[in-house]
Amino acid sequence: MAEPTPKPPVVIRRFAEIVGHAPQKALLAQAEARERAHHAYLFTGADGIGKRRVAYAFIARLLCKQPIALSPGADPSLGFEACGACRNCIRVFETPTWYDDRAPFPAKEDAPELAPRHPDVMTLLPHGQYIKISQVREVLRIVPFQPVEAPVRVVVIDDAHLMNDEAANALLKTLEEPPARTRFILLTSLPSSLLVTIRSRCQKVAFARLSDAELMTMLTQLNADPAAIARAIPLAQGSARAAIELLDDPLGAIWEPLARELLTVRDQPSVHALAASLAEIPQLDAVFDRVARLLRDALLIRTGASAAAHGLFHRSLVDALTTWAQSQSSESILHRLELVEDTRQLTRTFNMQARLAFERLLLEISAPVGAEGARPMLARRDIL
Ligand SMILES: [Zn+2]
């Protein structure tokens, strides 16, 4: 008889264990401690930076039977957080994939299994393209009743911008007259796509991208290979999820030498050889993404904007990038960026042989300003 599959361990993520987002965690913990918590929160910020993790740590705090001080020995007015050990906490954190850093982030279609196992936590995720009115109605049917076990019930609306108009309007009525002992947490990377009336009913908690130092702390805790961490951080642009996915980047260590060659290649035989090397990489899309990022870096250098925001994807290639960018104009770099997408479409939709497609692209990238031959073959007007 086959052994039963062992249950994966529950990964606890309390506030203290989530890297970054200190002001947001403090705000939530303090509001709760001072009984000034809002009935509806809107968590905003880029995808993959940790909004969901903080949301579930906060839910555990709300449901926890024995909350503990946010920082040991600290003033209690600074707030409390989940103990991570009581029966309520365990059930909130028992949703396996979202709390295990190394597990793949699941497709939204797999969502039902991801609902926390606590009866007072409800999670709405898109069914197909949208969060539909039938899903919102199901929630609204339940919220007038008392929570089953916990002092409060929490409804999470994940990717809240994907509520269709009917669903959003149905929810709005409830946010205007919130039921007692129910909290809503809406998560979104696109707050401007939400109804203004919904936004105005929620307390906004804006999350920032993680700093490089925070990403470093997080990836180091995962015992990842230091070389993979060093490659992942600049490409992740402050997203924890992107950084984790990049640890298993298919291009990994092979990309940097190719990128350097791409910036310096001049003569036809070298173009042919490099095109052949790029065409051998099975993940063509990843190659096109990288070429586009390389040209974007060059554009930032050319326009003097490279110090802005999170800077360059290819920091280790800054010398080669600068030399190449100085030989170009902003317009000529933009033209080459356009050709990258054009070439991607040629290989994807029209089955152009990858080697030939890269040759065409590389000849353009290596051509001096004004000597470009290729024009995008698939300009939008031609497709439509
Ligand atoms: Zn607890």
Dihedrals φ, ψ of 153, to 5°?
-105, 145
Distance (angstroms) between ligand 1 centre and the Cα of 201 equals 29
Determine how many CB atoms are found less than 10 A away from the CB of residue 351.
9
Q: Mean pLDDT for the chain?
A: 83
Cα(81) to ligand 1 centroid in Å equals 8
Look at residue 107 and tell me whether its pLDDT is greater than 50: no
What pLDDT does 3 receive?
A: 59
- Mean pLDDT, to the nearest integer, of 116-121? 78
Rounded to whole angstroms, how far apart are CA atoms 60 and 303? 47
Give the model's pLDDT for residue 101: 41
* Domain range 15-208, CATH class: alpha beta
State pLDDT tens for residues 354-369: 999 999 999 988 888 7
Tokens of 9: 């361990």
The domain locations on the chain are: 15-208, 209-249, 251-383
What is the pLDDT, as a whole number, of residue 381? 38
Model confidence at 105: pLDDT above 80: no
**Would you say the CATH fold of 251-383 matches that of 15-208?**
no
Asked if 258 and 338 count as a contact pair (C-beta separation under 8 A), the reply is no
pLDDT at 196 over 90: yes
Cα-Cα-Cα-Cα dihedral of 344, 234, 48, 11, to 10°?
A: 130
> Could you tell me which residue, 379 or 225, shows the higher pLDDT?
225
In degrees and rounded to multiples of 5, residue 46 shows phi and psi of -60, 160
337: enclosing H helix or E strand: helix 330-349
Ligand 1 midpoint to CA 4 (Å): 29
Residue 336: what pLDDT? 93
Q: What per-residue confidence (pLDDT) applies to 384?
A: 31
Residue 198 has pLDDT above 90, yes or no: yes
Q: For residue 69, report the distance from its CA to the centre of ligand 1, in Å.
A: 12
Q: Average the pLDDT over 72-99 and give the result.
A: 73
Rounded percentage of the chain residues whose pLDDT exceeds 90: 40
Distance spanning both ends of the chain, measured CA to CA = 60
Please determine, for residue 56, whether its predicted confidence score (pLDDT) is greater than 50.
yes
C-alpha 121 to ligand 1 mean position (Å): 15
- Check residues 39 and 109 and name the one with the higher pLDDT: 39
Nearest alpha carbon to residue 55 among 121, 144, 7: 121
Q: Give the pair of three-digit tokens for residue 343.
A: 């070439």
| DSSP conformational letter for 17 | G
Looking at the predicted structure, is the pLDDT value of residue 165 above 60?
yes
Expressed in angstroms and rounded, the spacing between residue 91 Cα and the centre of ligand 1 is 10
Question: What is the value of pTM for the model shown?
Answer: 0.75
Range 251-383 has CATH code 1.10.3470: no
pLDDT digits (tens, 9 = 90+) for 235-263: 888 998 888 888 888 788 889 899 999 99
pLDDT in the model for residue 100: 40
Report how far ligand 1's centroid is from the alpha carbon of 68 (Å): 8
Dist. CA 48–CA 240, nearest whole Å? 6
pLDDT > 90? residue 169: yes
Q: Write the single-letter amino acid at 362.
A: L
User: Which residues does 384 contact at the CB level (< 8 Å), separation at least 6?
Assistant: none
